[in-house]
Amino acid sequence: MIIVEQLPTLPPPHGSAPDALLLAWEQRSKTRQQVTSQSGREIAIKLPTGTRLPPGAVLYIGDGFHIVVAPAPEEVWLIRCADARMLVRTAYEIGNRHFPIEIGDGTVALLYDHTLAELWDRLGIAAQRARQPFLSDQRPSHHH
């Protein structure tokens, strides 16, 4: 088992083969977990509190290979709006409920939660369920 207690400070050497570690959004913020890479390598992550693992981050460099973080597909609500006001209203409603949000060009995505279907209907928001990586860089928090 590979034990990771700190992230590498240097890039992988030339010719090092990448081994993807697919992590969902929530997993990319966990500092203590046991996971398995795409090629089957067992990895124990024991990083300092507050460490984030964004897609593309190199987690470990081994002999001839390196472990690189990749975003795992997960269930999301995907909202496309041509109307800027409706897009801002949607983002406001999501933020007001303290959900992490991914804002794209004319789109908003958030992790799927079945309870939001009623909100979309009430507000007339055309939301669709999709399976794709969720790339919000925000952490859930509650501060007023």
Residue 62 lies in a domain: yes
pLDDT score of 140 more than 70? no
- Residue with more model confidence, 124 or 130: 130
| Domain count along the chain | 2
* Residue-wise pLDDT tens digits, 50-90: 999 999 999 999 999 999 999 999 999 999 888 888 888 88
Token pair 């207690």 is at which residue? Answer: 5
- My answer on whether 56 and 36 are in the same domain is yes
- My answer on whether 8 and 66 are in the same domain is yes
* Residue-wise pLDDT tens digits, 23-58: 999 999 999 999 999 999 999 999 999 999 999 999
Residue 140 lies in a domain: no
- My answer on whether 67 and 34 are in the same domain is yes
- My answer on whether 104 and 89 are in the same domain is yes
Segment 112-131 shows an average pLDDT of 92
- My answer on whether 91 and 118 are in the same domain is yes
* Whole-angstrom distance, CA of residue 135 vs CA of residue 25: 7
Q: What is the pTM of this model?
A: 0.84
User: How confident is the model at residue 45, as a pLDDT?
Assistant: 97
Segment 113-118 shows an average pLDDT of 93
Domain span including residue 89: 73-133
Residue-wise DSSP of 67-127: EEEEEPEEEEEEEE-SSHHHHHHHHHHHHHTT---EE-SSEEEEE--TTHHHHHHHHT--E
User: How confident is the model at residue 91, as a pLDDT?
Assistant: 86
